[in-house]
Chain A
Amino acid sequence: MEILLAILIGSLYTAGVYMLLRRSILKFIIGIIFISNATNLLVFMSSGLVKGNPPFTAPDGTPLEQTADPLNQALVLTAIVIGLGVVAYTLALKYKFFELTKTDDLDELKQTEEV
């Protein structure tokens, strides 16, 4: 199963990088989402995959053996929410950029003069 997941991560990165290299800003933003998803999965996977044993304690509070690693999950959870912030902010940037330049072309960003 790890191999399949690794292929998934690889293909997410491929898609992400490919879209980051487009000139269209919208694709660029989608690329960011793909890359952040891929990275989250990578971090998540690096602590080992555990099936059906979430990081909870027993009902009486004693720790359970062999649960999934809670630390990676906490990290990834934070990353997911931050990812939302990044996407929203880039979308806003893009929106403003389009409003000012009426174009979707990233190469137009080369100009630094005020439009």
Chain B
Amino acid sequence: MINVLVLILLLSLSLLFFKGTLKKQMANVIAVFQAGLFAYIAYLYLNNGNIQESFDWISALNLSFVFNLDGISFIFSMLITGIGALVFIYARYYMKKYERTTPFYIYLTLFSGAMLGIVFSGNLIQLFVFWELTSVLSFLLITFFHEKERARKAAFQGLFITLMGGLAMLGGIILIGSVVDSYNIHDWTQNADAIKNSELYTAGLILILVGIFTKSAQFPFHFWLPGAMEAPTPVSSFLHSATMVKAGFFLLLRLHPSLGGTPEWFYILSTAGAITMFIGVYFAILRTEIKSVLAYTTINALGVLTLLMGIDTFLSVKAAILFLIIHAFYKATLFMVAGVIDKSTGTKLFANLGGLRKEMPLVFIFTLLATLSMAGLPPMLGFLGKELIYEAKINIPEASNFILIIGVASNILLVAVSVLFTYKIFIKKPAHKVEIKSKPNINGLIGPGILVILSLIFGLFPQLLGGNIINDALSNVFENYTPVKLKLWHGFNTVFFLSLFTVIAGFIVALLIIKFEKITFYWNKFNERILLFRFTDVFVKAIDSFVSISRKKDKIVQHGYHRYYLLSIFLLTSVLLWSQFFETRSWIFNIDNDKNSFYILIVIVITILASILAMFSNKRLATIAILGVSGYGIALIYLYYSAVDLAITQILVETVVVVLFVIVLQKLPRFAKLSNWKIKVRDLAIALIFGTVMGLLALKATEVNFDSSLYDFYSENSYLQGFGKNVVNVILVDFRGLDTFGEVIVLAIAALGVSVLLSKPKKKKV
């Protein structure tokens, strides 16, 4: 699997060098590549079954790269590469007129790699990395039209929410990882009972679910998804319907064995899922723009997936996986169709559209079939999904009528939305004649065409899907799974009558809306009444107030006065050090009365005096001289205490410093007298507090017994391995030579910096 990811990375990099015809055909090249990956992964899985690869990553943290291909990741990787290939073909049509397509294709290719990375990951930290990568790439793709302010804002909103969710998820992963002491999904599954019994379970689960909900646009984080529709349509159909937003569902499947099956899991998921499902379709019905409707129905579908995972039976999870495939098929189709209509007529508003069935018969057929699937009518795949969903909802163990009612209600609305969608674009008489600017070419129609035909085939022969593929995935979710069969016709049972009722009611709602346009008007009014706030507004407000609070804080903390920054640093350090001394005050320093030669005493005293004098000297040259004295004094101290090299270096450096000062002083003014005595006293007090504690620290430092193994090593090996008798020099040029090299480079950079700072700019010729 790693080879697949590396190939994608290489391809996306090589896109940079595409020129001429190759550049024109870039999308088709990538599509062929994706199709190749599709075939390769299918071949791998169908021949070998489950595959696992792992590589060492950070062995100290017990982390390794784990890639595995099992039933779940197989379905997802098929969707990613398969729909990916179709989307790239479609992008060739859609992106024709735009500039800057190369980065766009690079991001989109990288995205497919990151998405595959998620579904192959067998390690949650690794999965998290890919997860965040998709968020960032989604941001970059939404901002393709970055000159539009709305696109920028929407992209930021999406990025912000998904990244915050990602952070929460990371926290959850680490929490639960600490229970098992591993981030490997396999280890989590093995220790599922330990996880569920631990105190951290609820907190960890909630944090991980926050990540999943943000990514999969679940209530209350759903509002970023409609905004993301500012992206070019290929992005919407690939990221924001078929793959990225499903990553949350993927993780639910993956973590079900280790985290699922508890009351918390059931209540959180089914509540969030049910609400998301209902509000998605509720808002969809009144939208006036094609892509917006699709975005809200996507939210509805994501809600359904979460709800089914929450119900948590064999049947419901099976329904969820089937619905995942169904939804990817019809929603990708509808998005592509929306893009085709937008390109052909130049508008995405229902008000300006209508009667297109004659001009675009093929597109009409595709849409019709896809919306049939969306509405859950036979013989499309969608019918199968809806039947299963109903069945699952009826058979909930904790029989909750609430879920069934809300499910039926939202499905009625969904039928209405589907009907209205087709009606408004293709059947109703347009207010003005719709002008067809350009006919879609073959690239624009292949994608939706294939997907629609596939969902028709799978709808008629459900065993193709259900036979092995879905059962394999289910056996990865449930330990003791017993297969459930898929059939198009279930007979006259409760489920069938519920379906019938749904469809009829849905058509009635649609008809009512078509006949009485006032309904929409009053409905909108009603919504404004009951909806106290819009989530996007709340988000924008929260961000704005955050920024303004930061600004206020900045004015206080970042005042711009250099010395006050330093002052606060020194004060804080002193407080910390003093409190540490207070903690360990029982420490007594034992004064050893060794004999000291008179001369070193003198040297030290002189140096002390020099440093005191330096503070109060007002003459520049005198200060420099004092500086020199203290420097040479320190050199003598080094010399006395057995550091010959240090002493020589200190003397030489001090000399250079004094010379530098003398040179610069010639060109500078006298010391400015800028502070009054009060400030001076205050500063002196702070300096004394700091100086005293540092002196104490120095005393204490001599008491510390260092580990002497380094000392022994250097002394013993200096001559044996370094052939040098001067141990300091051997350390510098041999044992730690690379550090010295680095140091010289730093110095060279400083020298270059000086040179650049002081070089006179050449006068520009006017």
| B is a partner of A | yes
Q: Which of B657, B668, B671 contacts A98 (CB 8 A)?
A: B668
Contact, CB under 8 Å: A17 / B687: yes
A81 at the binding interface (Cβ < 8 Å): yes
Majority SS of interface residues in chain A?
helix
Q: Which of A19, A20, A21, A51 contacts B614 (CB 8 A)?
A: A19
Contact, CB under 8 Å: B686 / A104: no
A51–B740 Cα distance when bound, in Å, is 27
Contact, CB under 8 Å: A22 / B563: yes
Contact, CB under 8 Å: A7 / B660: no
A64–B714 Cα distance when bound, in Å, is 11
CB-CB under 8 A from A7, the residues of chain B are 608, 695
Name the residue on B nearest A49 (C-beta): B641
Report the number of A-B residue pairs with Cβ-Cβ less than 8 Å.
282
A18–B638 Cα distance when bound, in Å, is 25
Q: How far is the CB of B448 from chain A (nearest CB, A)?
A: 55
Contact, CB under 8 Å: B740 / A46: no
A56–B724 Cα distance when bound, in Å, is 9
Q: How far is the CB of A16 from chain B (nearest CB, A)?
A: 8
B181 at the binding interface (Cβ < 8 Å): no
Contact, CB under 8 Å: A91 / B664: yes
A1-53 contacts to B, CB under 8 A, are 1-24, 26-27, 30, 33-34, 37-38, 40-42, 44-53
A23–B562 Cα distance when bound, in Å, is 9
Of the four ranges (under 10, 10 to 19, 20 to 34, 35 or more), the interface on chain A belongs to 35 or more
Contact, CB under 8 Å: A54 / B638: no
Chain B 342-366 per-residue mask, 1 if CB under 8 angstroms from chain A, else 0: 0000000000000000000000000
Q: How far is the CB of B497 from chain A (nearest CB, A)?
A: 73
Q: Which of B661, B697, B753 contacts A42 (CB 8 A)?
A: B697
Contact, CB under 8 Å: A44 / B716: no
Contact, CB under 8 Å: A12 / B754: no
CB-CB under 8 A from B615, the residues of chain A are 14-15, 18-19
B745-764 contacts to A, CB under 8 A, are 746-747, 750-751, 753-754, 757-758
CB-CB under 8 A from B627, the residues of chain A are 30, 33-34
CB-CB under 8 A from B690, the residues of chain A are 13-14, 17
A77–B665 Cα distance when bound, in Å, is 27
A111–B757 Cα distance when bound, in Å, is 19
A57-80 contacts to B, CB under 8 A, are 57-59, 61-64, 67-71, 73-74, 76-78, 80
Contact, CB under 8 Å: A105 / B674: yes
Query: Contacts A70-B728, A92-B753, A98-B668 hold; do A2 and B699 have CB atoms under 8 A apart?
Result: yes
B482 at the binding interface (Cβ < 8 Å): no
Q: Which of B623, B634, B739, B746 contacts A30 (CB 8 A)?
A: B623
Of the four ranges (under 10, 10 to 19, 20 to 34, 35 or more), the interface on chain B belongs to 35 or more
Contact, CB under 8 Å: A11 / B671: no
B594-640 contacts to A, CB under 8 A, are 594, 596, 600-601, 604-605, 607-608, 611-612, 614-615, 620, 623-624, 627, 630-631, 634, 637-638, 640
Query: Contacts A37-B630, A85-B751, A91-B660 hold; do A10 and B642 have CB atoms under 8 A apart?
Result: no
Contact, CB under 8 Å: B640 / A8: no
A110–B563 Cα distance when bound, in Å, is 11
A10–B669 Cα distance when bound, in Å, is 30
Contact, CB under 8 Å: A44 / B643: yes
- Which of B630, B656, B695 has the most chain A CB atoms closer than 10 A to its own CB? B695
Query: Contacts A21-B566, A55-B727, A95-B668 hold; do A42 and B694 have CB atoms under 8 A apart?
Result: yes
Q: Which of A10, A30, A83, A103 contacts B653 (CB 8 A)?
A: A83
A residues lining the B interface (CB < 8 Å): 1-24, 26-27, 30, 33-34, 37-38, 40-42, 44-59, 61-64, 67-71, 73-74, 76-78, 80-89, 91-96, 98, 103-107, 109-110
A-B contact pairs, 16 of them (CB 8 A): A9-B694, A11-B691, A14-B611, A17-B690, A22-B675, A34-B611, A40-B634, A44-B646, A58-B725, A70-B715, A73-B646, A77-B645, A84-B657, A93-B757, A104-B671, A107-B674
> Assuming A9-B694, A46-B701, what are 9 further A-B pairs, CB within 8 angstroms?
A2-B702, A22-B674, A26-B668, A33-B627, A40-B634, A76-B646, A88-B751, A88-B754, A95-B757
